[in-house]
Chains A and B, each alone.
Chain A
Amino acid sequence: MQDKLRRTIRGGLIVLMFLLSDLLVPLRPVCAGVPDRIVSLAPSITEILFAAGLGDRVVGVTTFCDHPEEARRRPKIGGMANPSLEAVVRLRPDIVVMTTDGNPREFKDRLQKLGIETYVFRERRLGELPEGIRKMGIALNAEKDFNALATRIEKALLRFEKEKVLHGEKVVFIIWPDPLIVAGAGTAISDAIGLLGGINIADTSGVRYPKYSIEELIRQSPDVIFIGKGHKDMKVLSERLLRRLRSVRAVKEERVFYVGDGLYRLGPRVIEGIEEMIRLLRQSK
């Protein structure tokens, strides 16, 4: 009874927050027509823009924007945390698309003072991605393409949820083995683990990318370990860690998998990221 009440209150709060956030950010096209010159301040944004077919209009990206291949050749405007104002202004963008997940807040104010339109992508969770893409489509006056992309992702997520390759197994996703950094609550990775029916042991930490205790990892003894192979010698680095984790169930049962960076960015490639996880889990069975 109490649980139900708590859930209702939590649900109500979430709905209220959504309503409020929508009030604060009126949804309307920012320019008349599709903007011709778009600057993207985050790799995830760049990937969404290209996937929605606006790649040709992207005139500036960050130094981290490496997907798709074509994005690498676009003019660079600096990093995510330290984009260069001068470089952005010089590109004369119709709109700058940024994210609350990595861009400095002051940057939006500075751009607005200089008379440059901005759109801020605020969604953080896997489940919010389709909605976020739709909103971005409205702001960029390209609803049709963005809606199609959003629907594609939505359908894929529904399909993954139905497949349920995991059945309450404990999972940990290692971002970096030394020091041990794992994906915690509130990340797309954690959401994906939940979607597949697993339990992310780091969810309880309350931090998005906690530096995790090896002792706790051994105590929890997860059934599955994913290791992001973002880096070339990740296997060498991880082997040392895995030797220390010999007693962990996932290591004993050889359910340790190296996966790509699809889920690192809240963009269209989350689908590939989850598909890769499903494939690896199925193979091991």
Chain B
Amino acid sequence: MMRIRLSLAVIFAMVVLVTALFIGPEPINPLHIKGIDKEILLSIRLPRVLVSVLMGMGLGASGAVLQGVLRNPLADPYILGLSSGAALMAVVGIISGLTFWGAFTVPLLAFIGALTTGVFVGAMGWKRGGFWPDRLLLAGVGLGFLFSAILMLIMTLSSDEGLRRATLWIFGDLSMTDWAFIPYGTIFILAGLLLSLSRAKALNALILGDELSHSLGFSPRRERLILFISIGLMTSASVSLGGMVGFIGLLIPHIGRFIIGPDSRGLIPLSALGGGVLLCIADLIGRSIIAPVELPAGIITAIIGAPYFLYLLRRRDILGT
């Protein structure tokens, strides 16, 4: 049953991906591609669609894993402070105008910011040879507040023209995506995804509690460390690709649970697919609806995602109790 639903989700995702390529501010007829359309399709739309899917996958899957690891339905990959670290570094990069690596500078800075924060949060949440979920969470929240404050401080003090750009980045903006982003995004997000999938059974056990997972043959400490690394990789890479897109990490896993149930072996891939599809659609709407003005995808994900989520919430019981 799970297999069939997952296969259906994959097919649906492919359809969305192709649709997003050919419709846009100006639809392109796939049977009749003219010169300029080909260029737009290959150099602008394709990398953008791929990045949106990758990013959504990373966020959706890491949300599903994190909610399990922390045993908290309100956990969101951003709660660990990684995104604040990424935003801080990215905004510093945008406003100071650093360009040591061309268009790749800001994503790289964001990635470094997120990973460093991840390591720091991990160190804060580590005690007596293992992670303590509550400590992780509090360390992430505390650090997140600190970084947001520094970020606001920088933005208040600078009136540079980078400011508007920085604001757009914070809301999640995919307009500058380039082929150059794809290889590194794919590597880190797929690595994280495969890592978490390989530990999906252990995650199922962790959700039941430390004692039960011990008796099922999984070491909670070890599993939590591995899963935390996978979350760190996926979240850092996602945020660095296009900024802070909200909603997906928190609510896509819940929508996934309504559809496929709480088993992590199905939930992680479905959350990844769901996140990818939602972000792809959101970006399609964002770049088409009032074209040529583009809306940041992060705004659209929440606007279309939240009502759907609330509708599901009314129909079913969110926590499964």
CA separation between A76 and B151, bound complex, in Å?
32
Q: How far is the CA of A110 from the CA of B44 in the complex (A)?
A: 9
Q: Which of B17-74 touch A at CB < 8 Å? A: 24-26, 36, 39-40, 43-45
- Residues in A whose Cβ lies below 8 Å from that of B43: 89, 113-114
CA distance A265 to B39 in the complex (A): 34
Q: Which B residues are CB-close (under 8 A) to A184?
A: 159
Interface residues of A in 41-68 (CB under 8 A from B): 63
CB pair B176 A90 closer than 8 Å: no
- Return the chain B residue nearest A79 by Cβ: B293
Q: Which of B142-162 contact A (CB under 8 A)?
A: 156-161
Decide: B44 and A81 in contact? CB cutoff 8 A.
no
B160 touches A90 (CB 8 A): no
Beta-carbon nearest neighbor of B156 in chain A: A211
Complex Cα gap A142–B166 (Å): 35
B103→A106 contact, CB < 8 A: yes
The 10 closest A-B pairs by CB, nearest first: A87-B292, A81-B164, A84-B292, A78-B292, A209-B159, A208-B159, A106-B103, A102-B161, A207-B159, A106-B176
Give the residues in chain B near A209, CB-CB below 8 Å.
159
A114 to B43 CA separation, bound complex (whole angstroms): 8
B293 / chain A contacts, CB cutoff of 8 Å: 63, 76, 78-79, 82, 84
Q: How far is the CA of A105 from the CA of B158 in the complex (A)?
A: 17
- A residues near B176, Cβ cutoff 8 Å: 104, 106-107, 110
Interface size class of A (residues with CB under 8 A): 20 to 34
Instruction: Evaluate contact between A114 and B103: CB separation under 8 angstroms.
Output: no
In-complex Cβ contact of A77 among B39, B158, B178, B292 (8 A): B292
Taking the complex as formed, is B175 at the interface, i.e. its CB lies under 8 A from any CB of chain A? yes
Q: Known contacts A81-B161, A89-B36, A209-B159; can you find 13 more A-B pairs with CB under 8 A?
A: A78-B292, A81-B168, A82-B165, A84-B25, A86-B45, A89-B39, A89-B43, A89-B44, A92-B36, A106-B106, A106-B176, A109-B103, A208-B160
User: Interface on B for A, CB 8 Å cutoff?
Assistant: 24-26, 36, 39-40, 43-45, 97, 99, 102-103, 106, 156-161, 164-165, 168, 173, 175-176, 178, 287, 291-294
Q: Are B159 and A86 in contact (CB under 8 A)?
A: no
Q: Are B292 and A100 in contact (CB under 8 A)?
A: no
Kindly state whether residue A131 has any CB partner on chain B within 8 Å. no
- If A90-B26, A90-B36, A90-B40 touch, whether A84 touches B175 (CB-CB below 8 Å) is yes
Residue of B nearest to A82 (CB): B294
Pick the residue among A82, A103, A107 that contacts B168 (CB under 8 A).
A82
Query: Does A210 sit within 8 A of B, measured CB to CB?
Result: yes
Cα A184 to Cα B173 in complex, Å, equals 30
Q: What is the bound-complex CA distance between A113 and B311, given in angstroms? A: 45
Q: Which chain B residues border A90 with CB–CB below 8 Å?
A: 26, 36, 40
A105 touches B99 (CB 8 A): yes
CB of A101 within 8 Å of the partner chain:
yes
Judged by a CB distance under 8 angstroms, whether A85 is at the interface is yes
Task: List, sorted by A's number, 12 A–B pairs whose CB atoms are closer than 8 Å.
Answer: A80-B164, A82-B173, A85-B44, A86-B40, A87-B25, A87-B292, A90-B36, A92-B36, A110-B103, A113-B178, A208-B159, A209-B159
CA distance A208 to B106 in the complex (A): 24
- If the complex has contacts A81-B164, A84-B287, are A210 and B292 also in contact, measured as CB distance less than 8 A? no
> A210 — which chain B residues lie within 8 A by C-beta?
159
Q: Do A86 and B168 have beta carbons less than 8 Å apart? A: no
Q: In the complex, A79→B287 CA distance in Å? A: 12
Min C-beta distance of B237 to chain A, whole Å:
19
Give the distance to chain B from A26, nearest Cβ to Cβ, in Å. 19
Contacts of A76 in B (CB 8 A): 292-293
CA distance A142 to B165 in the complex (A): 32
